[in-house]
Amino acid sequence: MSRTRTYRCLNCLEHTIDREFDTSHLSVTCPNCEAFERFVNEAVYRQFRAFEESPPPELDWERLDRTEKLVVAERIARSTKTIEDFAVVSGDEDGEGDEAESADDIAESPTPK
């Protein structure tokens, strides 16, 4: 028996589809809004909604755009990372990883690349 996963359309946020594989998201044409859209794993979407309702204090949630928020939600929902881990590594997405003055924190959670 394979377990199906639910994916939700990010355009209308209403249509969901079920697939028998587990991935973070997929892109298909939504039969509801007819957009070729990204459908996110329902677990990711739930995490996203949870953060919308109570933003994590460790992150500058309100300043992220929706895509960035979903990336955060995706990483939290689909890995064992905690929000603290994420806050530590978020800096190097700005390309400022070179001037790691607080290298102590970073060394403790190496980013897999």
Report the C-alpha gap between 82 and 78 in whole angstroms. 11
Work out how close the CB of 9 gets to Zn ion at its nearest, in angstroms, rounded to a whole number. Answer: 3
11 is a site residue for Zn ion (CB under 5 A): yes
Q: Return the residue of 7, 8, 24, 30 that touches Zn ion, per CB under 5 A.
A: 30
Long-range contacts of 86-92 (CB under 8 A, 24+ apart): 86/58, 86/59, 87/58, 87/59, 90/59
Beta partners for 28?
37
* 9 is a contact residue toward Zn ion (CB under 5 A): yes
Kindly tell me which residue out of 6, 16, 32, 109 binds Zn ion, with binding defined by CB under 5 A: 32
Residues that bind Zn ion (CB under 5 A): 9, 11-12, 15, 30, 32-33
